[in-house]
Amino acid sequence: MATTPGFLIEKAEGYTVVKLSGSLEFPHAKTFEGEIDGISNNADGHIFINCEHLTSFSKDWIRIFLRLQINLKSNEKSLKLIHVSPGLMNLLKREGIDSTFKIAPTLKDALDESGAPQKRSLDTEFINPFLTATLHVLNVQAQITAKAGPIYKKKATDSFYGDVSGVIGIVSDAFNGSVVISFPEQTFLKIMSGMLGEEYTEITKDILDGAGEITNMIFGQAKVVLNEKGYGIKTAIPSVVSGKDHSLHGVTKGPVIVVPFESTGGNFFVEICLSA
C-alpha cells in the first residue's frame, strides 16, 4: 500500500474501518470530517482507525478523533486505533493523548473487545465472488467456459479426488480460511493448453505452477470484491499439491463449502473453508 496521504472508509456489518496513510494535514482533515460525520451520527456501529500506514497527523485530526469518539460514546459505540506503530505511539505520547484513545493490536482484537459481529459466515456474499472470479479467469486466461453446479456443505465422510490442486490461505485480522481448486488430470491439461497456447498431454513440473497461478488470480479478484465489503483479507501465496486421485483434508478447521464446476475443459471443483 502506498503512503500517499489519504484515507479509505470501509463499512462492514456492525462496524467501520478507516484506513489512514501517509502524513495527514489540515486539507485531508476537512474532507475526512465531512465523510465520517454521517457514519458516526447515524450510529452505524463501532469505528476502528487502521494506522498501519499512517506516519503522522496534524492537531486538526486529533480534534476530529475526539469529537468522533464523543459522538460514538453517546450512541454506546466505540472508537479504537489499531496497528499503531511505535513511532506513532511516541507521537501520541508527545501530544499527551496516548491514554485518550483506546488502542487494540489488530482488527480481531478490536472486534473482540467491542463485541462487534465478526464477518466470517460462508454465505452467498462471501462465496459468490469466488464463483464469479473462477468463471472469469478460466474464460479470459484459457478460453474455457465453465458453469457452477449446486453448492453444498461438505460432510466429514465426503472425499473429493483430484490430480492437481491449488491451495491458498484466507488470512484476515478477524478470521482465517482456505480456498482449494482441484482438477482431474485431463481438465488441468486442457486448461494449461489454453493458457499457454501449446498442447499438453501429460502433467510435468513445467506446468504444475499453472495451478498456483490460476488459484492466485481467482483469489486476487475475489479478494478485491470482498475487501470492498470490509472483510480485510490479506495477500497470500498459493501452493500446489499433485498426485493421482489425492484428497485434501483439514486444510483449515471449519465448515467447508463445495462448488462443483462443469466446463468445456472438463469437470473440477472448488472448496471454500472459513474458521475463527
Domain coordinates of the chain in residue numbers? 6-114, 124-275
Helix segments in 42-80, DSSP class H: 59-74
Give yes or no for residue 2 having a pLDDT over 60.
Answer: no
* 229-259 pLDDT tens trace: 778 888 889 999 998 877 776 566 778 899 9
Pairing state between β 46-57 and 79-82: parallel
**Which candidate, 206, 167, 177, 174, places its Cα nearest to that of 189?**
206
* 62-81 pLDDT tens trace: 888 898 888 888 888 889 99
pLDDT of residue 10: 80
> With bands split at pLDDT 50, 70 and 90, how would you rate the model's confidence at 3?
very low
Give yes or no for residue 167 having a pLDDT over 90.
Answer: yes
Beta bridge mates, 167: 180, 239
Query: Is 6-114's fold the same as 124-275's?
Result: no
Q: What integer best gives the mean pLDDT of the chain?
A: 86
Give yes or no for residue 13 having a pLDDT over 90.
Answer: no
Contact 194, 213 (CB under 8 A): no
Residue range 6-114 forms a domain whose CATH class is: alpha beta
> With bands split at pLDDT 50, 70 and 90, how would you rate the model's confidence at 266?
very high
pLDDT of residue 75: 82
Name the CATH architecture for the domain at 124-275. Answer: 3-Layer(aba) Sandwich (3.40)
Give yes or no for residue 50 having a pLDDT over 80.
Answer: yes
Give yes or no for residue 182 having a pLDDT over 50.
Answer: yes
Helix, strand counts (H, E) of the chain: 7, 12
Q: How far, in Å, CA of 233 to CA of 219, rounded?
A: 10
- Mean per-residue pLDDT for 118-145? 87
Instruction: Tell me how far CA of residue 231 lies from CA of 19, 105, 108, 198, 269, in angstroms.
Output: 13, 17, 11, 39, 24
Q: What is the DSSP letter of 170?
A: E
> With bands split at pLDDT 50, 70 and 90, how would you rate the model's confidence at 164?
very high
> With bands split at pLDDT 50, 70 and 90, how would you rate the model's confidence at 108?
confident
